[in-house]
Structure 1
Amino acid sequence: MSVELMVWDEPAPISRDRARAAYLEVKKTEPVSGELPEISKELPGIVTAYDDHVLVTMDLDTMDEMSAQVFATARAHGLVCYDPQRDLVHNVAPLGVYAGMQLHTGDGLIVHDPDLGLVHDVLATMSPQNPFTALVTFGHHFIQVSPGFELEYKEGSLVRTLVEDLEEVRRAFHEYATGERGFLTRHEWST
């Protein structure tokens, strides 16, 4: 079985709905014949060009590793990347304040320097097949959540709290990513 990612240029960050619509429109068209765009040389997998879009096809077994390469290459070129399997869009900006921050999920997604919209959207994907989401600034601190909204934060010692809903989890992750720490005073934490 194969999976796909789509890469293209957008002047500003776009929503998942817009990225999904662009992907579906491209899938209705025929690939462009002839020479592939310059970025194609840097992308892993099978690359197919469609006017202003590039489709990258890869095996399911190599999806996590190859996807990380595609995300990084797209970011380096200032391009958007849409993941139709996870229904997630990787925009170029806005980013958090920690250079090198990583987004990890229980289903194998790893993104270096994720945009804030992606972090927001990924949090809604938790399930038994995707049992956690974490933002990690290695060597410094991290925030993590699991289904049931158990929030964990570590900067020195690990503390935990339960929050009521996804919106509060999203707020805490946004604050963490942007260097704010309001989530630490809003909740009762235990060790």
Structure 2
Amino acid sequence: MSVELMVWDEPVPITRDQARTAYLAVKRTDPVTGGAVPEVAKELPGKITLYPGHVLVTMDLDTMDEMSAQVFTLAQAHGLVCYDPQRDLVHNVAPLGVYEGMQLHTGDGMIVKDPDLGLVHDVLATLSPQNPFVALVNFGRHFLQVSPGYELEYKEGTLVRTTVAELAEVQRAFHDYATGERSFLSRHEWSA
């Protein structure tokens, strides 16, 4: 079984719906044969198929996590959008959080360095038995993590926990954390 990612240029951040629509439209067209290969396509791992203005990366399910991380990093380095149709997630170039090198980790194996804030927001809605946690990690400093049932864990020295009632509050806490705000700490009762 194989999985795909699609990479292309967008002048502004796009939504998952826009990315999905673009992906489906491109898949209905014929691949490009011959001609110049875009620089990013030469660097991408996996099997590469070129479409007008788009690069489709196909990889084995067994190598998906490792290769996806490489594709996300290369797309970001080239200022390109990356759409993951398996997870229905779009990786935009911006806006980013304030912590350079921050990593997004998911329980289903996705790791993204310097994730855009829209991706963080959307990933949180994928919490499930198949994706049992989402974490934003600033290695050696602090992290914020959530699991189904919306149990938040925050560590900066001491690990503290709280449970929130709604996904919207989880998304708000992660946004605050990623942007350097600490108001999520005062909005909740935390216990060690």
Fold in common (TM above 0.5): yes
Match of 1:33 in 2: 33
**Counterpart residue number, 1:104:** 105
Q: How large is the Cα RMSD of the aligned pairs? A: 0.5
How far off its partner does 1:55 sit?
0.2
Deviations 1:102-157 (A, max 9, x none): 00000000000000000000000010011000000000000000000000000000
User: What's the counterpart of residue 9 of structure 1?
Assistant: 9
**TM value normalised by structure 1:** 0.99
**Amino acid in the other structure paired with 2:57:** V
Question: What is the identity, as a one-letter code, of the residue corresponding to 1:147?
Answer: P
* 1:55-107 deviation per Cα after TM superposition (whole angstroms, max 9, x unaligned): 00000000000000000000000000000000000000000000000000000
Give the drift of 1:38. Answer: 1.9
The gaps in structure 1 that reach 5 residues or longer are: none
Q: Partners in 2 of 1:37 and 1:55 — Cα distance?
A: 12
Distance 2:7 2:176 in 1: 29
CA distance in 1, matches of 2:77, 2:38: 15
The ranges of structure 1 where at least 4 consecutive aligned residues each deviate by more than 2 angstroms after the TM superposition are: none
Gaps of 5+ in 2: none
Task: Give 2:28's aligned amino acid.
Answer: K
Residue number in structure 2 paired with 1:83: 84
Distance in structure 1 (CA, Å) of the matches to 2:179 and 2:84: 24
Deviations 1:144-175 (CA, angstroms, capped at 9, x unpaired): 00000000000000000000100000000000
Match of 2:190 in 1: 189
Identity of aligned residues (%): 80
Q: Following the alignment from structure 1 to structure 2, what is the Cα–Cα distance between the partners of residues 69 and 9?
A: 17
Q: How many residues align structurally?
A: 191
Equivalents in 2 of 1:49, 1:6: separation in Å? 10
1:125 match: secondary structure: coil
2:132 is aligned to 131
